[in-house]
Amino acid sequence: MYFLGTAGALPTTQKNPPCYMIRRGSDMILFDCGEGAQQQMMRARTGFTVDAIFITHWHADHFLGVPGLVQTLSFMERTEPLVIYGPPGVYDFVDAIKMLSKNPIRFSLVPIALRHGSVVPFSGYRVTAVAVQHGMASLGYVLREDERPGRFNREKAIALGVPPGPLFGRLQRGETVSVGEEEVTPGDVMGPSRPGRCVVYTGDSRPNAEDWKEFGMDPDLLIHDATFDDAAAERAREVFHSTAGEAAVVAGEIRARILALVHISSRYRSTANHIQDAAQLFEGDVIAPDDLFMAEIPFRE
Ligand SMILES: [Zn+2]
Ligand SMILES: [Zn+2]
């Protein structure tokens, strides 16, 4: 997970507009693609093999990196289609990129509009769109891996007469095996299935715990709008953003493991107040990552 751009609506010399990248196996997914995204990808040495881009909403700090990235991918002779997902408006957005660019785009740019509850399946995981409150059509996203098979109980398999070797592998792949006259099923020797990893990205949003509860419980990482600290709670309400404390309450309600506060307004010189406000209301880890921060997300045991 790469925090390529963590700024609020205005970039600073240290922070780029919103862009979050998940790499899983050979897959590369972008959530938002603010201005400067491709240079951040160069700095983070992620490569450019983007499989899909999910835009949260049509405020320019969240999408201005797309035209430049598309141009570069075209120069790099990409041929695979690139799907851009987002709220309604994504068709106009892709049309505008095609219309404005006088360089031919050599691959197909495919817009797909999502609604609350839309699910985009990938190999081994899926992305679910969740409507959020930002004063306009806006989506947040939940990326959740498929469940993993339970733990293989080696001792029990041996006790049931299964000899160590290829039959172990067959049981672990879900096959029933014969041992003499008896059959041993995976259910005899495999523990309960284990949850995959989960990342929630709110985009710009008021706190939205009930909707996240439906789709995004128990995330390993919650990346939440924290444009303001708690002293500016009224302002946050007015402009449909969240405070650090509001983000922390959501994190607690959906049992997040780590809360990342992002989109912090450029008016703040330091993130210390944000961290403090959130830490008072949330027991898990609170971070306010800098641009180019990279987090490996381990499996929960
Ligand atoms: Zn924004
Ligand atoms: Zn916005």
Taking a 5 Å cut-off on Cβ, the residues next to ion ligand 1 are: 9, 59, 61, 204
Task: Give the span between the Cα atoms of 158 and 164, in whole angstroms.
Answer: 7
Instruction: Give the rounded percent of residues in the chain with a pLDDT score beyond 90.
Output: 92
Q: Which ligand is nearest to the CA of 135?
A: 2
**What confidence score (pLDDT) does residue 101 get?**
84
Expressed in angstroms and rounded, the spacing between residue 44 Cα and the centre of ligand 2 is: 25
pLDDT score, position 245: 98
Q: Are 113 and 162 in contact (CB under 8 A)?
A: no
Domain definitions of the chain by residue range: 2-148+194-294, 154-189
Distance from Cα 168 to the centre of ligand 2, integer Å: 52
Taking only Cα atoms into account, the Rg of the chain, rounded to an integer number of angstroms, comes to 22
Q: What is the pLDDT of residue 138?
A: 98
The pLDDT assigned to 84 comes to 98
Which pLDDT score, from 0 to 100, does residue 155 have?
A: 94
Over residues 95-112, the pLDDT tens digits come to: 999 998 888 899 999 999
Ligand 1 center to 184 CA (angstroms)? 55
83 forms bridges with which residues in the sheet?
Answer: 52, 110
Residue 5: band (very low, low, confident or very high) from pLDDT cuts 50, 70, 90: very high
pLDDT at 300: 80
- Integer CA distances (angstroms), 218 to 225, 251, 254, in order: 18, 9, 6
Asked if the 2-148+194-294 domain carries CATH number 2.40.50.140, the reply is no
The alpha carbon dihedral of 4, 265, 224, 251 has a sign of positive
Taking the centre of ligand 1 as the mean of its atom positions, its distance from the CA of residue 76, in whole angstroms, is 29
**How far is ligand 2, taken at its centre, from the CA of residue 268, in Å?**
18
Rounded to the nearest whole angstrom, what is the distance from the C-alpha of residue 217 to the centroid of ligand 1? Answer: 24
pLDDT at 202 over 80: yes
- The pLDDT value given to residue 149: 85
CA 61 to ligand 2 centroid distance, Å: 7
Contact 132, 225 (CB under 8 A): no
pLDDT band at 93 (very low <50, low <70, confident <90, very high): very high
Ligand nearest to the CA of 239: 2
Q: Does pLDDT of 183 surpass 80? A: yes
Give how far the C-alpha of residue 203 lies from the chain's centroid of Cα atoms, to the nearest Å. 10
Alpha-carbon gap, residue 119 to 126, rounded angstroms:
7
More confident residue, 217 or 300: 217
For range 85-94, the mean pLDDT: 97
pLDDT tens for residues 16-44? Answer: 999 999 999 999 999 999 999 999 999 99
pLDDT, tens digit, for every residue of 43-81?
999 999 999 999 999 999 999 999 999 999 999 999 999
So what's the pLDDT on residue 229? 97
Q: Answer whether residue 301 shows pLDDT above 80.
A: no
pLDDT in tens, 267-280: 999 999 999 999 99
* Helix or strand run (H / E) with residue 261: strand 258-262
- Which ligand sits nearest to residue 240's alpha carbon? 2
- Nearest ligand to residue 61 Cα: 1
In the reported structure, the alpha carbon of residue 176 is separated from the centroid of ligand 1 by a whole-number distance in angstroms of 52
- Write out the DSSP string of 128-185: EEEEEESSSEEEEEEEEEPPBPPPB-HHHHHHTTPPSSHHHHHHHTT--EEETTEEE-
The order of strands in the sheet holding 285-287 is 119-122, 125-133, 137-145, 198-201, 221-225, 258-262, 285-287
Provide the residues around ligand 2 (an ion) whose CB is within 5 A: 59, 204
Q: What is the pLDDT of residue 1?
A: 96
Half-sphere exposure of 108 (CA within 13 A, CB side): 4
Q: Which residues are catalytic?
A: 61
Q: Which ligand sits nearest to residue 87's alpha carbon?
A: 2
